[in-house]
Amino acid sequence: MVHVAILGFGVVGSGVAEVLEKNTEKIAFSAAAEISLKYILDLQDFPGSPFADRVIHDFKRIEQDPEIQIVVETIGGTGVAYEFTKRCLLAGKSVVTSNKELVAIHGYELLSIAVENNLNYFFEASVGGGIPIVRPLCQCLAANEISEVYGILNGTTNYILSHMAAGVDFDSALRQAQELGYAEADPTADIAGHDACRKICILGSLSFGHHIHPDQVYTEGIDKVALQDIYYAKQAGWRIKLLGRAIRRAGDTVAVYVAPHLVSTESILANVDDVFNGIMVKGNAIGDVMFYGPGAGKLPTASAVVADIIDCAKHFHARKYIDWLEGDSRFVADPRALVTRWYVRTPPGGEKAFGQVDLLSCAETAPADTVFLTPPMSQVEIQPKLEATNAICAFRVLE
């Protein structure tokens, strides 16, 4: 019998309890042991819940109970979640989490504590919701030198951009996402790219072996994407997607950033719509691999968490190798040096400052502005031109 405790009984925490209850026999078979949910820690009581008898309010009961071998952290954030995670690991309990912010900021430290205590710290659900990506990077693709990992990592922004492609304005698309529960009342973390930033930090750390901190990642959101940009891109055979990218550079440095991109409609990634995520991995042996599926949601995320619980139960005495080295500022390269073509929208005549461009609009179709694709150039090169022409927006082209 393996006893489990859940910290936080919100959407994901309650989903984990539900999956453990619903799939008891299958989980026991997979783990080669019965998994029993003993405690649920939360500030509130849940009198109408079938798990009400397991709700407690004192963390020390979990910390000091020798029967608890695995703790599931679904509190979120880096406050009490960080403190409780450390205390659980130091108390000899393996920890499973869906908390991307905590892993992105404190992953190296928490993994180091787990190593020192011969425990596991698993976080499959922290990236891509129910999509398997952490375990494949650490196991299935372990023989590869990864050159790039990138993709659509945030379902809320992808939902908004998908609906804008159908003619819905930004504010209406955001409101729909909030009504459907895809976006928070305060959607800043999604819209400004912070959520995607945390996820690409985790993927980059796993792929390239050094901790990448969110503060090292150049991050843009989708707030500058307008309906006319969606229209012009679509007319030219492109879709606009918010991508997180981690790319190996010369000298084994890694350029990491989050920003909107034009993606060719011939790309599989361009056809990842609504709240779905798509993650691409480039390895020197496997080539290109794509991971696709629901990037969020109660049960898809809970599915990944419970899979980690099963993995923990199977590896109490043989810690699984999921690890990376301490962060180093010399390891993270400046993404502004990356050379790509750019989609640019300027006032009329602005295209003359950018050399030989491919026009996507002209005065007849867009009297208020000019839209074009530039020749390949870095962000360092293009920035003065954007400022000199009072450019309205500029997005990289993924090629």
> pLDDT for 16-69, tens place per residue?
999 999 999 999 999 999 999 999 999 999 998 999 999 999 999 999 999 999
Residue 75 tokens, joined: 């509190």
Domain 2-130+298-314 has CATH 3.40.50.720: yes
Query: What is the mean pLDDT of the segment spanning 157-186?
Result: 92
Instruction: Report domain extents, the chain.
Output: 2-130+298-314, 134-294, 338-398
Q: Are 96 and 312 in contact (CB under 8 A)?
A: yes
Does residue 289 carry a pLDDT above 90?
yes
Per-residue burial over 174-202, b if 16 or more Cβ lie within 10 Å, else e, is beebeeeebbeeebebbbbbbbbbbbbbb
Looking at residue 316, what is its pLDDT? 84
Least-confidence region, from 131-135, 228-232, 365-369: 365-369
pLDDT band at 320 (very low <50, low <70, confident <90, very high): confident
Domain 134-294 has CATH 3.30.360.10: yes
Does residue 189 carry a pLDDT above 90?
yes
Query: What is the mean pLDDT of the segment spanning 259-284?
Result: 96
Q: How far apart (Å, rounded) are the C-alpha atoms in residues 340 and 337?
A: 10
Looking at residue 141, what is its pLDDT? 93
pLDDT band at 364 (very low <50, low <70, confident <90, very high): low
| Helix 24-31 and helix 298-314, axial crossing angle in degrees, nearest 10 | 30
Is-same-fold flag (2-130+298-314; 134-294)? no
Amino acid letter, residue 284: N
103-253-269 Cα angle (round to 5) = 65
Least-confidence region, from 4-18, 96-110, 210-224, 304-318: 304-318
195 Rama sector, left if φ>0, alpha if ψ -120 to 50, beta otherwise: alpha
Looking at residue 181, what is its pLDDT? 82
Can 60 be counted among the known catalytic residues?
no
Query: What is the mean pLDDT of the segment spanning 351-364?
Result: 83
pLDDT band at 205 (very low <50, low <70, confident <90, very high): very high
Single out the catalytic residue among 100, 199, 282, 385. Answer: 199
- Calculate the average pLDDT of the chain: 94
231-339-342 Cα angle (round to 5) = 15
Does residue 365 carry a pLDDT above 80?
no
Query: What is the mean pLDDT of the segment spanning 255-280?
Result: 96
Residue 378 phi, psi (nearest 5): -85, 165
Does residue 366 carry a pLDDT above 70?
no
Query: Which run of H or of E encompasses 234?
Result: helix 227-235
Does residue 362 carry a pLDDT above 60?
no
Looking at residue 367, what is its pLDDT? 65
Looking at residue 361, what is its pLDDT? 75
CATH number of 338-398: 3.30.70
Residue 131 phi, psi (nearest 5): -80, 125
Q: How far apart (Å, rounded) are the C-alpha atoms in residues 146 and 252?
A: 11
